[in-house]
Chains A and B, each alone.
Chain A
Amino acid sequence: QKEVEQDPGPLSVPEGAIVSLNCTYSNSAFQYFMWYRQYSRKGPELLMYTYSSGNKEDGRFTAQVDKSSKYISLFIRDSQPSDSATYLCAMSEETDSWGKLQFGAGTQVVVTP
Chain B
Amino acid sequence: GAVVSQHPSRVICKSGTSVKIECRSLDFQATTMFWYRQFPKQSLMLMATSNEGSKATYEQGVEKDKFLINHASLTLSTLTVTSAHPEDSSFYICSATWGGTEAFFGQGTRLTVV
Give residues of chain B (69-114) contacting chain A, Cβ–Cβ below 8 Å. 93, 95-97, 100-108, 110
Given A41-B110, A42-B107, A42-B108, A105 and B42 touching (CB < 8 A)?
Answer: yes
The answer to whether B4 touches A43, judged by C-beta atoms less than 8 angstroms apart, is yes
Given A88-B44, A103-B44, A98 and B100 touching (CB < 8 A)?
Answer: yes
From the candidates B33, B42, B110, name the one contacting A99 in the complex (CB within 8 A): B33
The answer to whether B95 touches A99, judged by C-beta atoms less than 8 angstroms apart, is yes
Q: Dominant SS at the B interface?
A: strand
Q: How long is the Cα–Cα vector from A38 to B95 in the complex, in angstroms? A: 14
The answer to whether A98 touches B97, judged by C-beta atoms less than 8 angstroms apart, is yes
The answer to whether A101 touches B103, judged by C-beta atoms less than 8 angstroms apart, is yes
A residues less than 8 Å from B101 (CB atoms): 98
- Interface size, chain A (Cβ < 8 Å): 25
A8, A95, A99: residue with the most chain B Cβ atoms closer than 10 Å: A99
Q: How long is the Cα–Cα vector from A43 to B106 in the complex, in angstroms? A: 5
Give residues of chain B (34-89) contacting chain A, Cβ–Cβ below 8 Å. 34, 36, 41-46, 49
**Is the C-beta of A29 less than 8 angstroms from some C-beta in chain B?**
no
The answer to whether B107 touches A99, judged by C-beta atoms less than 8 angstroms apart, is no
**Is the C-beta of B32 less than 8 angstroms from some C-beta in chain A?**
yes
A residues less than 8 Å from B97 (CB atoms): 98-99
**Is the C-beta of B6 less than 8 angstroms from some C-beta in chain A?**
yes
Given A41-B108, A99-B49, A100-B34, A4 and B43 touching (CB < 8 A)?
Answer: yes
B residues less than 8 Å from A101 (CB atoms): 44, 46, 103
Closest A residue to B98 using CB positions = A98
Closest A residue to B93 using CB positions = A43
From the candidates B43, B103, B107, B108, name the one contacting A105 in the complex (CB within 8 A): B43
Show the binding face of A for B, using Cβ within 8 Å.
2, 4, 6, 8, 36, 41-46, 49, 88, 95-106
